[in-house]
A = this chain, B = another copy of it.
Amino acid sequence: MALIVQKFGGSSVANAERIKNVAKRVVQTKRKGYKLVVVVSALGDTTDELLELAKSITDAPSEREMDMLLATGEQVSVSLLAMAIHKLGERAISFTGPQVGIITDPMHTKARILDINTSRIERALREGNIVIVAGFQGKTVTEEITTLGRGGSDLTAVALAKALRAKHCEIYTDVNGIYTADPRVVPNARKLDVISYDEILELASLGAQVMQSRSIEVGKKFNVPIYVRSSMNHTEGTLITKETRKMEEVVVSGVALNQNEAKITIFKVPDQPGVAARIFKVIADHGINVDMIIQNKTQTKTTDISFTVRKSEIRRALEAVRKAARSVRAGQVSSDGNIAKVSIVGVGMKSHTGVASKMFGALAKNKINIDMISTSEIKISCVVPGNKGKDAVRAIHKEFDLGNK
């Protein structure tokens, strides 16, 4: 009997009605003859409410105590889902992450899974139960409760699918699957039937909110097939799997838009070995994440360096960058918050030529200026003016003929 892991997010279990719907769906799968492990997130906005509660006590809660607090959210969901399944006449049993032996490192609020002891789940499955596991949480070897960070329930699901050698993992959300672009920006965006781990990782890092990246990395590492699908209907969804020959026929899988970055430029940086390293060390020491970096040597003895950071970190970033610039005797520092990053992703790029020029051409045709370019093996990103981001996505999506006919 094959085993499936299903994961339901917070919006899928936001209230009693939805919990009952999830129970129905789970029972349907079970009655098709599968063994079933179900991972559940906290009800709706519970996690945010618990964060509020902590904030009403202190501005700087200890991370260990935050984990104690937050872990309760999923424990509520799993018990309620078990009750709802019982009501439909099926056996079910709920467990916390610690109870099923999800062992993590001790990095509270962002712990990493080290090991999963599956014996308790396997016993419960043998006894005919639908096994319901609280997502997002685990314990250390010293029995401390830990949480896995935002999106951690995805990680719980994929890691359990790996540990239990599941046929596949199903991630239920409020969208039908993964699209060629954000349907709110591109109305005829098409749902993809299949996409590779690498493509979805690039899309995720480029601003497409699909699944937590770490869970896809784990899926990739252990080759766990992942279906992303809706909990509201029975549409097939999108399969995330390893790269196949067939995928390479498709040049571009999707277009992503990220409007949450700002650009910083340091002018007249002395063109000497080690200078860039010193600058980015200072920035990293301030805990600022840098994304695209472009260095373009135009003068003889100096160069201009541009890079993007998260808009939310721009003030702290500028402080750090000014300090770094002074320390290497560079020139002025400027920033631009009015940018958008548009990216195309596709494993087919490896074997197809002319992809970049086609992308640039689409932007040119629409009189959209390109400010920065960065590429990887399966991705091309362009920074364009902030108010042109959505137009750029639509133009590229059309140029590569990605939409529904």
Question: Residues of A at under 8 Å CB distance from B?
Answer: 16, 19-20, 50, 53-54, 56-58, 61-62, 64-66, 68-69, 71-72, 75-76, 78-80, 82-84, 86-87, 93-94, 96, 99, 120, 143, 145
B76 touches A50 (CB 8 A): yes
Chain B contacts of A16 at CB under 8 A? 53, 56-57
- List 10 other contacts, CB 8 Å, given A54-B80, A58-B86: A19-B57, A57-B80, A61-B83, A62-B82, A64-B93, A65-B83, A68-B96, A69-B75, A71-B75, A75-B75
Query: CB-CB < 8 A to A82: which residues of B?
Result: 62, 65, 68
Once the chains bind, are A58 and B83 in contact (CB under 8 Å)?
yes
User: Which residues of B have CB within 8 Å of A58?
Assistant: 83-84, 86-87
Interface of chain A, helix or strand or loop or mixed? helix
Asked whether, in the complex, the Cβ of B72 is within 8 Å of the Cβ of A76, the reply is yes
Interchain CA distance A50-B77 in the complex, whole Å? 11
Number of copies: 2
* Complex Cα gap A145–B76 (Å): 13
The verdict on A79 contacting B83 (CB below 8 Å), with A56-B16, A57-B16, A57-B20 known, is: no
Chain B residues lying within 8 Å of A54, measured Cβ to Cβ, are 79-80, 83
Q: In whole Å, how far is A45's beta carbon from the nearest beta carbon of chain B?
A: 14
Is the beta-carbon distance between A86 and B72 smaller than 8 angstroms?
no
CB-defined contacts of A75 to chain B, threshold 8 Å: 68-69, 71-72, 75
Tell me the complex Cα distance, A188–B280, Å.
Answer: 75
Residues of B within 8 A of A94 (CB): 65, 68
Top 6 A-B residue pairs of the complex, sorted by shortest distance between their CB atoms: A68-B79, A16-B56, A72-B72, A69-B79, A65-B79, A58-B87
